């Protein structure tokens, strides 16, 4: 019963995150989903994932979202939706039905064999994954640099104009240099 309550609360938070009119509220609801899921993971006897999900999912990602929203600014949220809503409903319920058809009901537990510890699996069996994670974190740092990069172009000047102006300037400099050479 507790499990069902936690998951129901997580789903409601997710719905609120989608429906929220302000970006900040959506972000906080998303953090709520993360926190509830980490409680659920702990109850499922996966404490390591619970801790990481709580600190990264509910902490770091939320801070990032808030930072990005403060940089990018709120925007009017009452735009018409991308697809007509009835069509989206039909697509979503269709895919949920198919998923439910294949997944449910599931009876558990076939191999009660003893399992190696988390550290053994993480560092030895799945060493390649750790390597990939390092690469991913590097990519994330680069992404963060992109987030922090200052905008050179003002909003009303498209990028193409800026490039064209830069090229023009370079050409002029080259011409001036050539003139100098000829005069010299």
Q: Of these, 137, 164, 170, 179, which contacts another protein (CB under 8 A)?
A: 137
Q: Is 181 in the site for another protein (CB under 8 A)?
A: no
One residue of 110, 182, 183, 184 binding another protein per CB under 8 A: 110
- 30 exposure class (CB count in 10 Å sphere: 0-12, 13-18, 19+): buried
With CB under 8 A as the rule, give the number of residues binding another protein: 91
**Distance separating alpha carbons of residues 117 and 71, to the nearest angstrom:** 43
Q: Which residues contact 123 (CB under 8 A, 6 or more apart)?
A: 130
Contact between 111 and another protein by CB under 8 A: the answer reads yes
* Closest of 77, 60, 100, 101 to residue 25, by C-alpha: 77
Q: Choose the stretch contacting another protein; rule: CB under 8 A; options: 133-141, 165-173, 174-182.
A: 133-141
29-88 positions binding another protein, by CB under 8 A? 30, 33-34, 37, 40-41, 44-46, 48-49, 52-53, 56-57, 60-61, 64-65, 67-69, 71-73, 75, 77, 79-83, 85, 88
**Size of the chain, expressed as the number of residues it contains:** 184
């Amino acid at each position: 019963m507790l499990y069902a309550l936690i998951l129901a609360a997580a789903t409601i938070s997710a719905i609120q995150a989608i429906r929220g009119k302000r970006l900040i509220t959506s972000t906080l609801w998303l953090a709520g989903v993360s926190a509830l899921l980490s409680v659920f993971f702990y109850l499922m006897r996966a404490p390591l994932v619970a801790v990481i999900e709580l600190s990264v999912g509910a902490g770091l990602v939320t801070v990032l979202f808030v930072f990005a929203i403060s940089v990018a600014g709120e925007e009017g949220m009452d735009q018409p939706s991308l697809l007509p809503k009835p069509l989206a409903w039909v697509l979503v319920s269709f895919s949920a039905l198919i998923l439910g058809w294949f997944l449910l009901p599931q009876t558990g537990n076939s191999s009660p064999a003893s399992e190696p510890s988390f550290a053994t699996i993480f560092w030895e069996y799945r060493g390649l994954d750790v390597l990939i994670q390092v690469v991913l974190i590097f990519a994330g740092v680069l992404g963060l640099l992109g987030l922090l990069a200052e905008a050179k172009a003002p909003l009303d000047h498209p990028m193409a104009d800026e490039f064209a102006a830069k090229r023009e300037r370079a050409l002029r400099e080259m011409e001036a240099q050539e003139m100098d050479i000829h005069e010299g």
